[in-house]
Structure 1
């Protein structure tokens, strides 16, 4: 199996960290932009896309700042993280995504994130 590489992308989001955080951490928020359906039980999120389910455990959380998930069927060192960054001078808010993918699928994975985050921005009306 190929080694996955870490990658990071950042998006400017015109939203308050508090509002944005709800869309990153709550099942109903994630359902609006990330997956077709999301359920949570005991810190395990079940994401459904086109009748296909994937489970991820919430492994780190900082309120209004960050959520980190680990896919339950993936190696322990891999995760995906959504971090809210706020510029102290301008108060501009950015969403930083950290994820892992096999090298020749990184471009594709970034496009998926681009599409999802574009959808999130439209849902936020930002």
Structure 2
């Protein structure tokens, strides 16, 4: 494969204060029904660990590779035949709290080919605003 065909990846990290408890927030991050409400057009749970995320009528398979109840989830994107790829795109959602202020934060890591930080910032700001409206925070 020529070097020009290898797309470089970009790690976008952002934290958002969320005025909701981890118990309320977590189902919106870790379940198809919760994600469907704020994150994308549709989410279909294919089995216990495989999800089909639908954006603009395009299907993107992802595996839930780690989860800690009320703390974090990671979705690693798969090939169309459900295979793993080296240096795969992934999304991390982490619920963190400030010891000092007791505030709850949602930390998002979006690792993908998208390199435009301004576009990513706007996209995540809008998505998290949708999430805040759902959780009351």
TM-score by length of 1: 0.90
Counting matched residue pairs gives 126
Alignment deviations for residues 4-60 of structure 1 (CA, whole Å, 9 cap, x no partner): 121210000000001100100011111110012111122111111232211111011
Deviates more, 1:46-55 or 1:71-80: 71-80
- Cα distance in 1 for partners of 2:114, 2:136 equals 33
Larger Rg, first or second structure (1 or 2): 2
Deviates more, 1:89-98 or 1:67-76: 67-76
Partner of 1:5: 10
Partner of 1:15: 20
Verify: 1:30 aligned to 2:35, yes or no: yes
Partner of 1:101: 112
- Cα distance in 1 for partners of 2:53, 2:112 equals 18
Runs of at least 5 residues in structure 2 that lack an aligned partner in the other structure: 1-5
Taking only aligned residues, the RMSD between alpha carbons, in angstroms, comes to 1.7
TM-score by length of 2: 0.83
